[in-house]
Amino acid sequence: MVVEKELNSFRLDDALPTPAEQADRLILWIASHQSLSGEWVENSIAEIDAWIGAAIASPGVTQGWLLDEEDVKKFIEAQTPVNARRKFRLTFAGWKHYETIKRAEVESRTAFMAMQFGDAELDAIVESYFKPAVQRAGFELRVLTDGQAAGLLDDQMRVRLRTSRFTIADLTHANNGAYWEAGFAEGLGRPVIYTCRKKEWNELNEHGRNKVHFDTNHMATIIWDPSNPNEAAQRLTAMIRATLPAEAKMTDRVS
């Protein structure tokens, strides 16, 4: 989970998702947390804003506008906020739209690598170990610069995220871009696997807390050590197979 006071450091210069994309991301969040069709689910306005990609400079404004739109009201019921928190639930039409969103998910054999550029050691790990590890599971791992076309990098990044079956996000540098891309992928309903160099994973900040922004205890995380990269590569292959057992290649044998 992102710490609320840190939200203002996340990619404020990026173009925001369109209103339709924001509404779909909210529907995905509600559906993933609503265990019974009629129950209400609750979260802070700030975290919902972050999840849907709303402007952090104006907390709750985009969210409130979306929820007031008649087209959105067909899918989402929302209560008046209390103590900066709001309750939601999907309507029957909302559940039908959720199924439409899920059916539209890509059937892709590619994965996207969200990472800090300019770290020679990380670049070598990705190229020599992560890419082969992903290939053993039957997918192709791509970074943003692979086959890069002319145009805006942010637009290309969003296309890569939308057309990838899953994302691998490296947390080594606490890179805001990698965090944002991971959150964007999760908002699309794509699996995200996190990686981090062992040295940075064990580092603490001045408050004695891990420097990594996310609470990764409940997230799929591969810790890699440059002195033994094969171990991380093997774990990565196994994690992809465990995450996508119906789609991944489940054996290293060459047919």
Residue-wise pLDDT for 18-27, tens only, equals 898 889 889 9
pLDDT confidence band for 169 (50 / 70 / 90): very high
Q: Which domain holds residue 94?
A: 17-103
Query: Which region among 15-19, 118-122, 176-180 has the lowest average model confidence (pLDDT)?
Result: 15-19
Q: What residues does 192 pair with on adjacent strands?
A: 167
Assigned domain for 181 exists: yes
Please check the confidence at residue 166 and state whether its pLDDT lies above 90: yes
Please check the confidence at residue 3 and state whether its pLDDT lies above 60: no
Q: What is the pLDDT of residues 130-148, one digit of tens each?
A: 999 999 999 999 987 765 4
The reply to whether 144 and 215 lie within a common domain is yes
Assigned domain for 150 exists: yes
Contact (Cβ atoms closer than 8 angstroms) between residue 29 and residue 48: yes
The reply to whether 135 and 99 lie within a common domain is no
Q: How many beta carbons lie within 10 A of that of residue 123, not counting itself?
A: 15
Contact (Cβ atoms closer than 8 angstroms) between residue 173 and residue 166: no
Rounded average pLDDT over 51-78: 90
Is residue 167 classed as helix, strand or coil in its secondary structure?
strand
Give the residue from 41, 71, 103 where a domain finishes.
Answer: 103
H or E element: which one contains 193? strand 192-197
* DSSP structure class, residue 126: I
What is residue 1's predicted lDDT score, i.e. its pLDDT?
38
Give the residue from 46, 80, 103 where a domain finishes.
Answer: 103
The reply to whether 98 and 201 lie within a common domain is no
Give the residue from 50, 77, 103 where a domain finishes.
Answer: 103
The reply to whether 51 and 68 lie within a common domain is yes
Q: What is the CATH number of the domain that holds 225?
A: 3.40.50.450
Q: Which two tokens stand for residue 164?
A: 């990838």
Q: What is the pLDDT of residues 88-114, one digit of tens each?
A: 999 999 999 988 877 666 567 899 999
Contact (Cβ atoms closer than 8 angstroms) between residue 78 and residue 67: yes
Mean pLDDT of the chain: 83
Residues 114, 97: Cα–Cα separation, whole Å: 29
Residues 174, 197: Cα–Cα separation, whole Å: 11
Rounded average pLDDT over 28-49: 91
pLDDT confidence band for 167 (50 / 70 / 90): very high
Rounded average pLDDT over 227-236: 97
Assigned domain for 250 exists: no
The reply to whether 148 and 91 lie within a common domain is no
Assigned domain for 23 exists: yes
- Which pTM value belongs to this model? 0.61
What is residue 2's predicted lDDT score, i.e. its pLDDT?
40
Number of structural domains the chain divides into: 2
The reply to whether 60 and 136 lie within a common domain is no
Please check the confidence at residue 6 and state whether its pLDDT lies above 90: no
Calculate what percentage of the chain has a pLDDT beyond 70.
Answer: 81
Contacts of 87 (CB under 8 A, 6+ apart): 40, 41, 42, 78, 79
The reply to whether 195 and 179 lie within a common domain is yes
Query: Which region among 105-109, 114-118, 201-205 has the lowest average model confidence (pLDDT)?
Result: 105-109
